[in-house]
Amino acid sequence: MSLLKIENLHAEVGGKEILKGIDLEMGAGEVHAIMGPNGSGKSTLSYVLAGRDGYDVTEGSVTFQGKNLLELEADERANEGLFLAFQYPVEIPGVAGMTFLRESYNAKLRYRGEPEADAMQFLKMVRAKAKTLNMNDDMLKRPVNVGFSGGEKKRNEILQMAVLEPSLAILDETDSGLDIDALKLVSDGVNALRSEGRSMLIITHYQRLLNHIQPDYVHVLAHGRIQRSGGKELALELEANGYADFAEEAA
Amino acid sequence: MAITNNAQQADTGTKMIHLGKNTRSTIISKGISAGRADNTYRGLVKVMPKAEGARNFTQCDSLLIGDKCGAHTVPYIESRNPSARVEHEATTSKISDDQLFYCMQRGLSAEDAVGVIVNGFCKEVMKNLPMEFAVEAQKLIGISLEGSVG
């Protein structure tokens, strides 16, 4: 059974149709990459899947782990195991990173009807995971994303993903704003999280990220539709030829 | 800290009177408005003639939840001693849709998300409260804001 199945998905933002019939199927443990030019609907797709207000689905269906995803609220989708690593992580002043992690982790446990985590054990678990991402205790004490550099914000997203252990992680341009070292660190973090039970949808402009995180499938999104799908060699082809081909195909 | 929700109108404030030499004071006020409520803070800082070198710092932050509420800050400063230094800073911020969505994407319900954000906003005050009281205050914030979103 597929983990995520998107069929003929149409969605609009502020009355303007952005997604015009997306079909995509992901199996458990698979890594898919979505590439496409600016304004092709990549971020819209990630927001629609995560359930953001103002992104209205007009047609089509999305099935996630056998459930109708579109019927669920954003927090229910998260607790079902869908995680979105934000392109622009949001600042939450005054809320320590650790507190935020604990709140989200416990929300997930409550959703499953399990007792909340023991504070000390949780602290240990988070510290161990933070260490692999080269994040120290100081970063966990600072308010969420406030005054973080671009690289720190993205690392923080990956840490949240490591702690929440989603079954589907959508990484929305996780490579944007990262220097070469930070890109490697973040990619290593993501690679460490690859497993049979975890699928990933990687949204990016550049092939660069896919050198570090090797996808099983690559899709090209342009003009609100998936124009082509293929293996990872498709990404290389795009790098050489650009997106120009697809602009013509659609026109 | 003052919280107003629904159709509440709060008009609260503080008085700080400096009598002695070199006296110092700090006032931190955190006002939260939700629903259609209005929250007004009035802060009187009075420096008497004998309070040579008195200093006051007032920080007044307001947080708005939704777009139908308001926050008002009215500082009253009466200084009768020319050596006094009195400062007043005010900020107004709003819980953004981005913040709410971010928290909900991590699994928090809309109400819990507001609770977490509001507690962060009040942190400077909360951290000075005794442990037991802070826990109560945190819960109280949650209860006071029930029904403010969604």
Q: Is the ipTM of this complex over 0.90?
A: yes
Residue A238 banded pLDDT, cuts 50, 70, 90: confident
Query: Which pLDDT does position B146 carry in this prediction?
Result: 82
What does the pLDDT look like over A87-114, one tens digit per residue? 999 999 999 999 999 999 999 999 999 9
Q: Could you say which of A50, A52, A95 has the minimum Cβ distance to residue B117?
A: A95
C-alpha A99/C-alpha A92 separation (Å) is 11
Within 10 angstroms of residue B120's Cβ, the number of other Cβ atoms is 21
- The model's pLDDT over B8-34, given as tens digits with 9 standing for 90+, comes to 999 999 999 999 999 999 999 999 999
Closest residue in A to B111 (Cα) is A75
Phi, psi angles (nearest 5°) of residue B90: -135, 140
Q: Taking CA atoms, what residue in A is nearest to B127?
A: A94
Q: Which residues contact B143 (CB under 8 A, 6 or more apart)?
A: none
The partner residue sitting opposite A107, judged by closest CB among B102, B108, B120, is: B108
Q: What is the pLDDT of residues B121-144, one digit of tens each?
A: 999 898 888 988 888 888 888 888
- The answer to whether the Cβ–Cβ distance between B102 and A90 falls below 8 Å is yes
H-only helix segments in B21-149: 97-105, 110-121, 123-126, 131-144
